[in-house]
């Protein structure tokens, strides 16, 4: 997480920015977890561009929002209909961490996951 670059963009979809697209391609990554604000505009347009470019797209549902919640829901629905997979932060975190007996898990659990776990469990 310490190795990052800040990007400024003019297009709603980040993939329309040549420098960004080329830098992303150079990483060799094929899977993208996407989130952000104004999900129905910039996040959606970026996601559709990523899908068009052949990336596997994971839409981080609980970290994507719009001023009008219905807009964010429609954006997620459209992205998923186009090939994205809706995920939550917990799903991604536990998949990346793989196991619970490491220092990394203990730190991530204490700082990020445990505070989220205090919410009550609800069954459908």
- Token readout for 64 is 């994507």
Q: Is the pLDDT of residue 124 over 70?
A: no
Distance CA 91, CA 113 (A): 11
Given this model, what pLDDT does residue 2 score? 66
Residue 63 shares a structural domain with residue 101: no
Residue 48 shares a structural domain with residue 71: yes
Q: Is the pLDDT of residue 25 over 70?
A: yes
Given this model, what pLDDT does residue 121 score? 67
Q: Tell me the residue ranges of DSSP E strands in the chain.
A: 31-37, 56-65, 85-87
Q: Which tens digits make up the pLDDT trace of 46-103? A: 999 999 999 999 999 999 999 999 999 999 999 999 999 999 988 998 898 898 899 9
- Token readout for 57 is 């797209």
Residue 54 shares a structural domain with residue 24: yes
Domain ranges, residue 29: 10-87
Residue 15 maps to a domain: yes
CA distances from 123 to 14, 53, 120 (A): 38, 38, 10
Judge contact between 45 and 12, C-beta under 8 A.
yes
3-state secondary structure of 52: helix
Tell me which DSSP letter residue 16 carries: G
Residue 2 maps to a domain: no
Residue 74 maps to a domain: yes
Residue 68 shares a structural domain with residue 37: yes
């Amino acid at each position: 997480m310490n190795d990052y670059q800040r990007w400024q963009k003019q297009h709603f979809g980040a993939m329309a920015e040549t420098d960004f697209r080329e830098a992303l391609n150079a990483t060799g990554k094929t899977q993208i977890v996407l989130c952000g604000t104004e999900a129905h505009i910039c996040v959606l347009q970026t996601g559709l561009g990523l899908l068009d470019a052949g990336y596997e797209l994971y839409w981080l549902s609980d970290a994507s929002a719009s001023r009008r919640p219905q807009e964010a829901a429609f954006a997620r629905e459209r992205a998923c209909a186009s090939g994205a997979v809706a995920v939550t932060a917990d799903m991604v975190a536990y998949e990346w961490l793989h196991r619970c007996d490491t220092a990394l898990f203990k730190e991530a659990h204490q700082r990020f996951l445990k505070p989220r776990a205090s919410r009550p469990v609800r069954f459908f």
